[in-house]
């Protein structure tokens, strides 16, 4: 089984991924954190290279301000990931621990991330279990219900102790490319001859769709002397970030746009209104996109530009 899996991986694995071509623990760590809630293609093509351009080393990340990091994390969502990256960087400065046990002590690093860094950066002989690998193990050993603890135990029993890193990567790619949540391409699977669940594959396939929640949000566009009002987020989701304030009046609608976030379908409405909040930060309009704001707020930028243009036209007429 190990031989069949590794032979398939050599021919079909995702070897071109940039974090697969390095043993730099910081780079691998960063990729693993980004990939937790974001598609591989988006991380590979955009977020990963841009973030490393701004913070090429763990020391650069540690020395940066949290506000700066959050502004460069914008678009990835789940901002606690960026906060924990910063905490971990400040506690490390130069070198990563080289074992799973020590990695688990870092902020925001759990069982999976510690195992992944230990395996992919330091070739430690530990099993790695993400959603893809757990799915492969469930089907391979015909375990319809498998807790995370049981999955880890099973992964350790199945681990290739002669080549643990490639084994973990191969299982990950198998789950991402062949043995997916909605489809099992058994005819292409190197483990098909050994699979105990292949004749009952329908019970493993994910068909239920998550129900989307429709929600409206209302924000004020308040500009004074080419500065726009922003307010610190009061919630935990956008902690340490800035949002547009709440409008006092909803009479002057400037426009609306859509934004999807996890299970939410949001409709955002923008108003030319003074803010309700007293706690405001006034940012130069030209620096709006560089401020620590989430993508939800960045999408308001075209409306702000249009508002400023129309305001200038009115001033010229006067």
Token pair for 174? 């198998």
- Which of 51, 46, 43 lies closest to 20 in space, CA to CA? 43
Largest CA-CA distance found in the chain, in angstroms, rounded = 80
Rounded-to-10 torsion of CA 50, 24, 34, 161:
150
Contact 61, 55 (CB under 8 A): yes
Q: Which of 7, 10, 32, 315 is labelled catalytic? A: 32
Rounded Cα gap, residues 292 and 313, in angstroms? 30
Active-site annotation holds for 124 = no
Q: How many CB atoms lie within 10 A of CB 162?
A: 10
Query: Phi, psi at residue 155, to the nearest 5°?
Result: -65, -40
**Helix, strand, coil percentages for the chain (3-state, nearest 5):** 50, 15, 35
Contact 127, 115 (CB under 8 A): yes
Token pair for 137? 């193990």
Contact 133, 155 (CB under 8 A): yes
Rounded Cα gap, residues 6 and 14, in angstroms? 13
Contacts of 20 (CB under 8 A, 6+ apart): 14, 120, 169
- Which of 175, 161, 179 lies closest to 129 in space, CA to CA? 175
Cα–Cα distance list, 246 to 92, 219, 271, 277, 280 (Å): 39, 5, 9, 7, 11
- Which of 50, 43, 37 lies closest to 14 in space, CA to CA? 43
Name the residues annotated as catalytic.
32
């Amino acid at each position: 089984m190990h031989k069949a899996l590794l032979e398939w991986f050599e021919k079909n694995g995702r070897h071109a991924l940039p974090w697969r071509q390095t043993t730099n623990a910081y780079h691998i760590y960063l990729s693993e954190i980004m990939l937790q809630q974001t598609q591989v293609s988006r991380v590979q093509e955009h977020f990963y290279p841009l973030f490393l351009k701004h913070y090429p080393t763990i020391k650069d990340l540690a020395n940066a301000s949290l506000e700066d990091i959050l502004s460069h994390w914008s678009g990835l969502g789940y901002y606690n990931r960026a906060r924990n990256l910063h905490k971990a960087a400040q506690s490390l400065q130069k070198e990563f621990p080289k074992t799973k046990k020590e990695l688990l002590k870092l902020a925001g690093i759990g069982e999976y991330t510690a195992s992944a860094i230990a395996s992919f950066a330091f070739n430690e002989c530990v099993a790695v279990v993400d959603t893809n690998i757990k799915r492969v193990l469930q089907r391979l050993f015909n375990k319809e219900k498998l807790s995370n603890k049981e999955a880890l135990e099973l992964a350790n029993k199945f681990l290739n102790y002669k080549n643990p890193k490639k084994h973990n990567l191969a299982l990950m790619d198998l789950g991402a490319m062949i043995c997916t949540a909605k489809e099992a391409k058994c005819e292409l699977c190197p483990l098909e001859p050994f699979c105990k669940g292949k004749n009952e594959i329908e019970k493993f396939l994910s068909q239920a769709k998550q129900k989307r929640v429709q929600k409206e949000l209302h924000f004020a566009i308040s500009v004074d002397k080419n500065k726009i009002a922003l307010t610190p987020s009061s919630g935990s989701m956008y902690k340490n970030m800035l949002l547009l304030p709440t409008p006092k009046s909803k009479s002057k609608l400037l426009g609306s746009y859509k934004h999807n976030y996890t299970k939410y379908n949001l409709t955002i409405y923008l108003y030319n209104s003074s803010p309700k909040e007293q706690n405001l930060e006034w940012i130069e309009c030209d620096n709006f996109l560089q401020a620590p704001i989430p993508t939800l707020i960045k999408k308001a930028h075209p409306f702000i530009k249009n508002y400023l243009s129309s305001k200038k036209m009115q001033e010229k007429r006067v």
